[in-house]
Structure 1
Amino acid sequence: MFKTFLVFILIIPALWAETVTADIAPVNGSRIRLHETPGGIVPELPGSYARTEEGFPMLPQFPWTVKLPTGSGAVSISSEESWETIALSIYIPPLSEPLPLIIEQALIVTAENSNVYLSDAYWPAEPVELTGTGYQSGCPVAEIMVTPLRWNPATGELQRLSSLEVNIETAPLETRPLPSLDSEFRRMLIVTDASFESAFNDLAERRNSQGILTEVFTMTEVYASASGRDNAEKLRNFVKDYYTANGLDFLLLGGDTDAVPFRYAYAMTCEYGLAREDSLPCDLYFSDLDGTWDANNNDIFGEVADNVDLYPDIFVGRAPVENVSEAQTFVANIAAYEDCIQDDHLQRVLFLAEVLWTNPYTNSGDSKDYIDEHFLPDFLDITKLYQALGNENLATTMTALNAGQNFINHDGHAWYSCMGVGDDYMYIPDVDAVNSGGRFGASIYSIGCWSTAFDFDAIAEHFLTNPNGGTVGFIGNSSYGWGSPGNPLYGYSDALDHLYHDYLYSDWSLTNAELLALTKEYFIPYSHWENVYRWHQYDVNLLGDPSLRAYRISPSSITVDCPDIVNVNTSLIPIQVSGVNPAGLTVCVHDQGSNWDVTVLDASGAFTFVLESPVTGDVKVTVTGPGVRRTTVDIPQATGPDPVISQLIIDDDMEYGQLSPGCSSDLQITLLNQGTENLTNVELVIDAITGPATVNQNSSLFGAINAGNESTGTPYISLDVNTTAVNGDVITLQGDIQSVQGDWDISISLLLYAPGLYFTTYSVNDSTSGNANGIPDPGETFDLTASIANVGMLNAASVSCIMTGYPGDVTWLTDSVYVDSIPQGGTETFTFVCSLDPGTPSPSFPWLFFDIISETADYESPDSLRLTVGETGISNDVESGTAGWTHSGTLDLWNISTADSHSPDHSWHCGDSEGYHPNMDCSLLSPEMILAPDALLSFWAAFDVAIYGSDGMYVIVNDLTVSSSDTLDYIGSGGALGRDFHGIGTEWCEWSYDLSTWGTGNTIQVEFRFCSDSDSDTGPGFFVDDISVQGAYTGSLGISPQPPIIPILGLPSPNPASGLFSVPVNIPQQGDWNLALYDISGRLVLTMTGRSPFADTVEMDVSHLSSGIYFLR
């Protein structure tokens, strides 16, 4: 439903306190409905809610928060307002006693409050009430209640606010938001029943050994140390205290609801009629730790009035185990999955798609195909069982599950006892019978109703407690899922489903809980009202370990080199990881005592752990990370010599103290014998090198090294680094340490340090010799300011940027710019002065090529940007008439309205004073526009339509260049599996869509098409405002310069990419070409070569690369 007001904040500083002023601008009175009831007129305002005072007039009010300065709290509030009359001589009945939403009661006549009903004055006397200070994402906010209507019982006159300004006095705040101790390490807390403690201790040990500090507490311990009105609140308060004292990332609720409590949360009334359906089992209650979730103290948790900010502070999952055997199975299945006891199924995906409705026909297979085409890499083996294809039934589903699947995506009907699979249903005994030979999957994502209703014996639970097959995670609904009849791509549950799978292969480092939290977080701006978006915040839950990271691909094996033994003298544990790109892998070292340490590797794969205490027992080294098999090496206690490198000093002729391109360096190596026996005649010999360098001196002599002593070798190992080396390259020296007592293999990996300078964005200032619109136009002279970032590992000194290639209609008045330095991780701007010929095409998009040069490490790199000349796109706030927009269609009601707007007074509205009508099919069409590079469509919309049915708006791009149309989105009605009720919407929210796939220079039109079904249940409809299509001022990073006008390298597509991407290459000159892909550190990760002349599209496969930013050169 609609939120009623927009808030604009001005903070005014004072000496000891501050006054925060908020201008609250009401919407037009046409949004107010006067509902006739047997008792009188009840005003209704979407987004507002009945007050709570029994016997007082039933006027709506809504909660609002206003951000306050850090460290302050609200102490008082005053307001200045104006009113306008909207009704005369009406009677507003008194509010009855609030009742729990799930209890049906007979109508009770409530007595009027005589102080109000016998007075000749407006009530309430003040429109705002300060209820306290709270926190949203750690920031203090004033919590206020606004009553936007007032009524005079004597005259019956009803007025609404036409303007409102609140002044909030603040003072230093004694309390603080829930703080989290900054921790160097990730932490997990497991709470469980005492009978399950042993099983979950095994999981805690597993997590500790991979670098996640984990503790287990029993519920007996929790209840003894925390207060609260019930067990769920006691648990939440315990978690908050732990979070504050220790820091916390993950919480595993280690038990079903009889063992570990849960909370029902209220999002909205869905109007189906079951007593439990609107009470949503919601583990977000233990994740979003701000506030109490019951700000109005009515024991209904999660209401809009409770000021739940919805943002997760920690990541939560639940182990739905009911007995010791299930707890042991839950933990054992996780170990089997992570250790890859079976791994031939980890690239398999199973899609299960029903026809959700036959009228209108809704084939959820369309939604699965969309996920396949847009979000999943090509290397996956996807099995598609679709009812529409005739191949989805219980038998085919069981066959696929028994084969083993890593990810399962279920788009169909469900209940807590079953899941729809075509014309059949899969029941709990079927899940219990799955036997995949230990090929456990990472997760199931189901949009079906009630599949994860964990307050029942839900079918989702059985996937996690089957010792022979199933999955280690399940994401699903604790009540209804929501679709859109006739729109299989655009149901509300489908929206989350799509975004989850987008994130799944966009960032391989995310755990199951982080993926779900990130997905839901995207929709929080849409969820601050009673609507289906808010429903999903509470309704969609994770069963499973929140810290488990799913394999996205069959994992690679790695090699871990470390000492052969440990003993009483051991103080260093050097490790070297190879076999894959080690950057980003996590290594944890711990013994059976107090030694525990963790690090994240860089591209060298090398790290030396310094132990804080003498070694107790054996030492374990565990390596984990995206795309690699979890690997553990045991280092036993033993006696004998143990030589390790204790110090390596790089003495380079450039005096950076690091290897860099073109340098000559001596490596001063010190060996420590941390064993129990002496070493004699020690020599280090390098016999192989990989990377861009050559070895000049390959051996060092150390003499005798007694146990516990060190020795520095001479002569020093020396090497020369190639001038072609780049930032992030790795040089690895392979050899051995030789002595009379034995030989030890050794590997020394060293990173190359250099600047990494790349163009990021540009801006235009044409105020001196142009029309001051910030756009370069033909005939103008303007300042072009380019930003250059240093993403390398060395500061860049004496940096020049020199234009080298550009079209003939571009003239440079300043073509070379110099800055003193760009620090590592920093950005500097370079302002050129450019003039465009009056005959320059407009719009046009010329490439400008330039060299970036630094004296540091003799750095030089070509780069480029693509300039946008002339007007492109569109920007329309609907304040200047139609501005070229047109509309037509069946029952066309598109019009410019003052009934509601985002800014300032007007918007497009598809409806009349009564809202929209049945059987509409009409479109609002933009003027034609030309797309700039990386164009983005954005607009603001507010809407209120029936919950069920198919009333909604399609967002469409019409490509006039190739005469095609594509639907970007559907916004509107849905259905909880096909029922018929009312009332969904949001107040003003922003929607945005990437248009880069339509190509630079293409001509398009944006279309908003509204359609309604034949049902008479309607609403106010859609309001659209502040429509924009704008390009991004960015270029292709690292493009080699070529003659003017001929862009040799186009933009990669798709971008982002998860599998294959293609890039146009056009090289007219004869010779050899090399196409190289670098990661953000500047390390070369992929290359292709060929012969020119060449003009074609080149495809590169990046499916094996970790997610992140890469540069194409």
Structure 2
Amino acid sequence: MKKLSLLLLVLMLSLFVSAQIVEQTYHFENPVVTEIQSYNQVQFENCMQTAVTGNPTLPYKSVSLLLPFGSEAESVEVILSDFEEINVKSQLYPYQASLPYSKPERKSFAKNEDVYSSKNVYPSKCHGELSTHYLNGHAFAFTSFSPVQYEPSSGKVRYAKTATVRIELASAKKDNSSMIWNTPYINSKVASLADNPEMIESYKTRGRNIAAYDMLIITGDEYVEGFAEYCEYYNSIGVRNRIATLNDIYASSEGIDNQEKIRNYIIKEYSDNGIIMVLLGGDVNIVPYRGLYCHVQSSSVYEDNGIPADLYFSALDGTWNDNGNNRWGEIGEDDLLPEIGIARMSFNNATKQANIINKTLKYQREPVLGEFRDVTLAGEWLYDNPETWGSDYMELLIGEHNDNGYTTIGIPEDYNFTRHYAEDGTWGPTQLKNTINNGTQYVHHVGHANTNTVAEWYNSDITDANFSGANGIDHNYTFFHSHGCVCGSFDDDCIMERMITIQNFAVAAIGNSRYGWFNEGQTEGPAPHLHREMTDAQYHERIPFLGMHLSESKCQTAPFVNAPGQWEEGALRWNFYDINILGDVAIRPWLDEPFDANIEYDAQLFIGCQSTEIVVKDENGNPQKGFYCSYVFDDERIGFAITDENGVAEVNFEGGLAATGDMKLYITGLNAFPVVLDVTAVPNNSAYVVYEEYTVNDANGIIEYNESSSFDVVLKNIGSVNASNVTATLTCDKTNYINITSPNYNVGNVSANSDITLEDAFAFTVCDSVPNNSNVRFFVSCTDGTDIWESKFNVNIFAPEFEIMKPNGLELNPGDSETVEFTIINKGGSSASNINFSILLPEEISMNQSQFNIPSLDAGEETDIEVTLTVSENAALGYAYEMPFTVSSGRYSVNGSYAIIVGNVTEDFESGDFSKFNWEFDGNPNWEIATGEAYEGQYCAKSGAIGDQTSTTLKITIDVKAQSEFSFYKKVSSESGYDFLKFYIDGQEKDKWSGEDNWSEESFILTEGLRTLEWTYSKDVYAEDGQDCAWVDNIKFPPTAVIVDVETVEEKDITIYPNPAKDFVKVSTSDGQHATVKIYNTLGMLVGTRLATSATNEIEINVSEYNPGIYFINISNEEYNVTKKIVVE
């Protein structure tokens, strides 16, 4: 009987739905007639110009109607009425096919003369195809129609001022209820897409409204550890996340291949937990991609069955391959409404992973202020007949525009724009690079591209050296968004992957894995459409997270993908599929200068309350829209809301607030630093005594190292009942820094909703080595003997923290003297006294004074110390003499090293071979020694006699101890412009020469560290000219060895323990040789000497009589000289 009743219910629901009709009326007025290439176009606001290629272009209105729960669209009827004539002077413009940016080939002008000579009303059917799509379980009917009717032969044009769209419904073939979430974000997304947002009410009782977590990270097992800091950061700001490894996914999910298993796992996590973002952690060799199918009829047919599209993992309805022919994403098998945001960190090793994550975190934690209203627009030449410039598309990203049938509100017009436009003569790859290095918020680019090139850069140009300014310190990392073709083809080693995986430059890149498409001579096109909508999602919708910007862009573009009529050109679908984000999905772009949000909220909530209100404003009191507000108790999210245009978020607690005690309120939004607040849930009709505020009882009101003080503490009874016989106990989490000497206090009685001040309540002492700005959490436990009330507060402890600004490196000759200046800065939060600064000198360097005493430095204060250095006449040429230095005050110190370069080292090849240095060779034949052709002397190096399409390389790796100049002489005789001598530093081409180029000097700056220098002579496939070779001579290297009296090296097997030490310290060696052990204080004074013999290999040194502080132990013999630091307590 129960089964029968259920069956009848389903049948009744089916009959009810099938009889339903959704109806929407649209109105049109104020048509605008424009001219394009001697033709006319009729335009209406929010109508897109389109047609079959060669047919008259008409304005089409996209229809996006939200359908009742449990239904889908079955048929559509469009009723046009209230017609009015439009005066046009020319024929309507024939629609021209979209072109890919990288192949704007010459094509004939398309015009269907049969249609233009017809006496029939065009179009024969005013509406396009009807389809049903689902967005987070909400059914949408998509179609389009034109209010314009055209008689081509007579030239008459009329339009309907009123159009009524009637969609007949049928019962949905699939139950999508598991996909319905009624979170504030999803409700807002659904409402913004619907022409009839009121229909959302039919879904609100059917979905869940609090997601368990926000972001799923999918990666290989070997990369999980590399995401630890990333996950911790996002959890700390309220973006709750989990990691799933591919091995676990493949083992637990069903699917015909790994891609489907990954997608099915994502669907489950979305359905069960309400995730809003997925990060794919790895290149395609780690996380495989799904290749989608698309067909475009342009000037020729374009077809691809493997478009890399991470959309497959974010649009979660259907299978994308219903007919099983492996053409994933065919029309009718697609899902154009992504439920979640998606992005891919496209790395293939741990170093690249670390680079991406470091940029992601540093960009958000430590923004470089003053650059976030500076936007860069780069537009290249695109096409010449009709003339088409990228700048026309770029300008539509600024301000409000209703061009081309849709409205977007983009970058504020009062921002600072740097425009690199081809038609203005300001375009160029070098100019764009310089702008990025000088700091810019975002780079928007339109131009031709390929896998290894974009913006006229090539893979070899994307280096840390070329983008050294965009290092996250001097200037911000930036975002790079391009319309160009294939530059985002992450299935290959594309140029956008290089942008995000080097240490500098782009924190994320948005681009196409295959062709980008445009419409010549117009300001509309597939790539510009998606770009405009993404910019609107950022600046107008104020969505915080990058991955959701692109998701919103695709949702708003989806109604335009299916073209009117029976036929789809396909270019917008292609671009819709192939645009992806390379970078982090959850990063929050700074789209204005960061600010600290002002939050109005209740710090205490009564148990059982149904809702609470949060108000978010900026520092000027302006309400802030789109801020995510979530309450978390005991690691579970219990309430969530998003602020509206008034800055108000109404958080509802389903079933009433059930938590007791402390919980967190996380607030995250566009352009604001994340906020984390403590909120206490207290019982109604009871007492509840908690911490309110504190005061430190000393002169400056802060806690500092090596001091004894006490707290005045204010307690408050936030309950509604008086508390009697209360006692309070104070503890902390950093007992190694703070010793609470008086932890208990007898409070007494505290009236309801009132506070009490406890004077000198809790005494404490602070250790003398606590790091500056250490955060200590204190816990206050109050009790009346029956109930216990816990609360907490955080306090920062301040101490000295030294920084030494050393002078630039010196290059001196034997006998030279130079005065230099060291700057000592106390960047800590507390003053320091009796500060010692000392420099340890090698025998070849002398100084007028090497030990200094500074009586005191206040917090933030600095002092300069001048010293005069003199190089001995006996100093060896070609070395960097390193001088360790230290600044110390009590237990606080900082060490560093300063180098003086004496002379240089020259490879002049006068040995007659390559034996003087450790040269390496690549190629066949190798470089050789030439006689009688040198720049100076008898010998030089000459490239081998190679054949066409080959190269030969001479290279060497050196250890540069201080930044210095490097130079060499070169000569070339080759086919000009084709066969080159190229010079590389660390694999990056620095310069190249061809033709007849006689001996000349070239110089470069080498930075500190290991550097590989290469000279490569290479030939192309064609002709040869001249002597077909290159020569190199008189290479002047910077110093590559270090001579010091005190050298710290780790590879020697020397053990010093214990460290720190109080009584004795033991020094042991394991090489079985004698060694002399000397102990120096920080002033460089020798305070002790011992001998380690081969018999013992260990000595014990009594340090009990030494004053507490820092000392240096130097262990040396004929083979090594090692210095290590110890601390005596």
The TM-score, its normalising length taken from structure 2, stands at: 0.42
Which protein has greater RCO, CA pairs closer than 8 Å, 6+ apart? 1
